[in-house]
Structure 1
Amino acid sequence: MMPQANPAQSATQWDAEGHLEVLTFNLGEETFALEATLVREILDLLPETRVPGAAPLLGSVVNFRGKIIPIADLRLAFAMPAAEATLDSRIVVIETETEGETFQIGIRTDKVHEVATLSRDASEEPPAVGMRWRRDFVRELVRRDDGVVVLPDLAAIFRSLTGGADAAAGPSSTLH
């Protein structure tokens, strides 16, 4: 029996067979995943411009093909130590829509792995105790042979910027 989803969390969009295609990536030693349908580009690191007064989580932007894309540092949301960029570091550009407007956000990663298929049967809600991260920032944990994959709740993370449901001027309300 599947546990009931936390209503404050975004719902994971499993297909009819209970599968979810994701792009897996590392932040430090942890493996995270984003729905493959959100991913638009995987970029080598680009020069970032700091945005004065912006929240540290979305504190810089890059210019890619004439578009200004805000860069999210999920390490901050998960209270992970800062890390120097390496040859494996990438920016995963995701796209989401809110109120009829499309937004792109780049997520800085330490290493991008693969597109993988996760199974709902191997997933669980984050435990109520014993996690070092904010529980509301994690939608689900999915067991795999090589460890656990974290499905972050991007909507909750971006909402945290202002503490409300309409934080970050948009992307937070429909990221899932």
Structure 2
Amino acid sequence: MSDEMNSTMNQYLTFTLNKDIYALDISSVREVLELTPITRIPRTPKFMRGVINLRGHAVPVVDMRLKFGMSKTEDTINTCIIIVEVLFDGDSTVMGALADSVREVIEFTEDMIEEPPRMGTTIKTDFIRGMGKQDDDFVIILDINKILSVEELAMLKSAHQESSAEAVPEVNPEQGMTLNL
């Protein structure tokens, strides 16, 4: 039975940050949006870029590059927002993850995914589910539920609730395309 379990294909959405390839389990991804205007929320960490208006609801957006200690994501034609569901306190919270670009959906079996590399005791890698390989490139498979700390998730949820109470600027639907996965 374990061979059957190891041969089950799982799908992952791949995206780039600073030319590196990352992936999220497709089950946590709701949709991919072209970059839309982001409203900054005061007194939030730099990695939290603000909120977007998603069909009348304020959705917090995290700059994944800043969260991982890289330079701020540059807004280009390929920059996109991956809308994901994150589990927090038993509830599902919707947030956006800003990425340089989205690549494709790929499939890995469990036995194709290696354990995350050990980086020493001072570097936290618990948000990395594992490492896959596509052609000659490594794919860093992320656990979306572990990227943000409990405190950061609470802050995101709070910012989401506060901004939902305020008016969020309307976005012209013709400005961007939505890719539903």
Aligned partners of 1:74 and 1:108 also within 8 Å: yes
In structure 1, how many angstroms separate the alpha carbons of the residues matched to 2:116 and 2:109? 16
How far the C-alpha of 1:64 sits from its partner, in A, is 1.5
Distance (Å, rounded) in 2 between the aligned partners of 1:57 and 1:36: 23
TM-score by length of 1: 0.74
1:26 to 16, 20, 36: 16
- Native 8 Å contact 2:59 2:96 kept in 1: yes
Query: Does residue 102 of structure 1 match 2:92?
Result: yes
Listed as ranges, the matches of 1:35-114 within 5 Å are 35-99=25-89, 101-114=91-104
Q: Which runs of 5+ in 1 are unaligned?
A: 1-14
SS at match of 1:156: helix
> Aligned-pair RMSD on alpha carbons?
2.5
Q: How many residues align?
A: 151
TM-score, normalised with respect to structure 2: 0.73
* Paired residue secondary structure (1:127): coil
Question: Retained in 1: the 8 A contact 2:61–2:95?
Answer: yes
Superimposed CA distance per residue, residues 12-58 of structure 1 (whole angstroms, 9 cap, x where no aligned partner): xxx66342101111111111111111111111111111111112232
Bigger Rg, structure 1 or 2: 2
Structure 2: state its 5+ residue gaps: 158-181
Structure 1 42/49 Cα, relative in aligned 2: closer, same or farther at 3 Å?
Answer: same
Runs (4+) of structure 1 exceeding 4 A deviation are: 97-100
> CA, structure 1 residues 39+154, in 2 after alignment: closer, same or farther (shift >3 Å)?
closer
**Distance across 2 between alignment mates of 1:16 and 1:129:** 26
